[in-house]
Amino acid sequence: MTETVIVGRIGGSFGVKGEVRIKSFCADPQAIADYTPLTTEDGRSFAQMVLTGQTNGGFTARLDGVITKEDADALRNVDLYAPRDVLPALPDDEYYYTDLIGLTVVDTGGVTLGTVARVVDHGAGDLLDVTVAGQSDTVLIPFTRAAVPTVDLTSRRIVADPPEGLFPT
């Protein structure tokens, strides 16, 4: 099985002729159509995606095998994954979200703060959602150079200098 990376999400139907709304997570949003075949978590595969227009926050598209509005509606909120080997190589200071999940987060003194559970983007910038041992709530750290000066994928560690008061003392 080829390793995959999430590249977008289907937002549901657009119109009545089987088009879907797509939110792209790619640095170049239109490039999502170039990374086929796209797959879903349940194993469905789309060999072709044709972008047909733009919507607020995304695109409209045709996916092979999606013909009716009902087909498109059934795909609402389904994530799309591309094979990692078709994605472009990244510069040293950029990362695929999937590479950050599971990394240990330590403070600048080396004290373990937690583990990255996921990376979220609510529009104002990326946030690391960090699971803290012994806590049911997670902590969100801004994924900026000031708050996260070091990401070391080789040692699977992130050095963070989070704003004061985010983590329990």
Contact 143, 128 (CB under 8 A): yes
pLDDT greater than 60 at residue 8: yes
Q: Is residue 41 part of a domain?
A: yes
What CATH number is associated with residue 126? 2.30.30.240
> What's this model's pTM, rounded to 2 decimal places?
0.75
Structural domain that includes position 24? 4-86
Using alpha carbons only, what angle is made at residue 38 by residues 6 and 55, rounded to the nearest 5 degrees?
75
Contact 38, 82 (CB under 8 A): yes
pLDDT score at 2: 64
More confident residue, 167 or 101: 101
The CATH number covering residue 29 comes to 2.40.30.60
Q: Is the pLDDT of residue 132 over 50?
A: yes
